[in-house]
Amino acid sequence: MVSFSSLEFLFRFLPIFLIAYFVVPAKYREIMLLIGSLVFYAVGEPVFLLLLILATVMNYYMGMKAWELGEGYTVQPWRLQKRKQIVIAAVVIDVLILAAFKCLSAFVDTALLPLGISFYIFKMISFQADILRGEIWNKPKFKYVALYFTMFPQVVSGPIMRYNEGEFDLDRTCGLEQFEDGLKYFILGLGMKVLLADRLAILWNDLQMIGFQSISTPLAWLGAAGYSLRLYFDFWGYSLMASGLMVMLGYDFIENFNHPYASKSISEFYRRWHVTLGSWFRDYVYIPLGGSRCDKKRIALNLAVVWLLTGIWHGNGFNYVIWGVVLGIMIILEKLVYGKYLQKIPILGNLYVLALIPLTWVVFAITDLKQLGIYFGRLFPLFGDAGIAVNQQDIFKYLSNYGIYLVAGIILCIPAVSGFYEKHRKNPVVIVLLAIVFWLSVYFLSSSAGNPFMYLNF
């Protein structure tokens, strides 16, 4: 039931929770959301519920100790030093928890990686850092902090909201129009996941089944493009569903994707892709290291550290390290060498992104380095020793099967399409189309086993 795109969530948990949430008086809704979030997590990951609770209690206790030491307009230096030590200790504990379970997952059993740990630990670290920087003005209550760490729309795969963005100490109201807007976002995300991402996943699964050594070069490029779109609509779909749920509950919408495939550089791509993760690394790693306020060598080092950590955060395989390092090198070169030329010639930047990003997603997708080498041998047949593909005409078969999904995905990557929806989202025709999307999604969910969101693995 941890997947938003499951019939159990859509027709059991969500309706029951929403009824309970809106029936109770407004002043108790945070408590109801906290209870619902713990139930949601317990059903999906009962073994690690205690870990989430203990980490929540520890971070609240240490955070409040640090907050109290910084209270007041003038604070003695020894109090500031003690406050810094407490925050550093809390962050170190959080990092060790994440690292320990990542190692257990990598070297013992993948089942030992708690659901959503990468996301809620990052929330805990940002909470501690914001206390140290004095960005949390009012002393937080335990129920608000616990809710912030555990709220079910975000606990599994983000977005990584900041504590202040929750505005937990304000009176929470949600009118019918806001609920309707949130529901529309949720349905859009569901459609992206079920009707696009899950269909494109079959293409990638087909290529794995027949073996990369057997596919032609055109099909290898089609597979790279299909995987790129699949990952995009899987995670964008999840983010829309999560943010839509938050809007339905009376919170602000959090944008996690901003049409990354319209970018003119790799740097811009990752400012638009998984926005909350990128801003987290920027604010809590890159800027504290010195950011761009340094000489060129230090800037390169800061970017290298950020992207190495990004690769490690995403997975345990060595391919994730390669993925992070490759992206880091490209972004460093953009920052220091040729980025200005990409900005001057926008179409060149667009083509550069559309050519390179799918190649980096291939590295992201294939954990076996030998198979990764074979795939790149297919992409670039003049290099390597991948051999001759068994069926040189296979591209036509897969285009006929998946072409409609690829075209639909490409169209939805165009920013103007989203602009058109935002302009006409109250139009009755659009509402009818959303209803059709919802019930088509339900039909596909009921007739298949369903695929979990890809970012549940991180």
- Looking at the annotation, which residues are catalytic? 314
The three-state DSSP-derived secondary structure of 395-452 is HHHHHHHHHHHHHHHHHHCCHHHHHHHHHHCCCHHHHHHHHHHHHHHHHHHHCCCCCC
Q: Quick one: which H or E segment has residue 280?
A: helix 275-281
Contact 254, 243 (CB under 8 A): yes
Q: What is the Cβ-side half-sphere exposure of residue 163, based on CA atoms within 13 angstroms?
A: 29
In single-letter form, the type of residue at position 202 comes to I
297/249 Cα distance (integer angstroms): 47
Q: What angle do CA 114, 119, 123 make, to 5 degrees?
A: 125
Contact 273, 57 (CB under 8 A): no
- The tokens describing 319, both together, are 């391919």
Query: Closest by alpha carbon to 451, among 172, 145, 233?
Result: 233
Q: Is the peptide bond before 159 cis (omega within 30 degrees of 0)?
A: yes
Q: Is 322 left (phi over 0), alpha (psi -120 to 50) or beta?
A: alpha
Q: Residue 391 phi/psi, 5° resolution? A: -125, 105
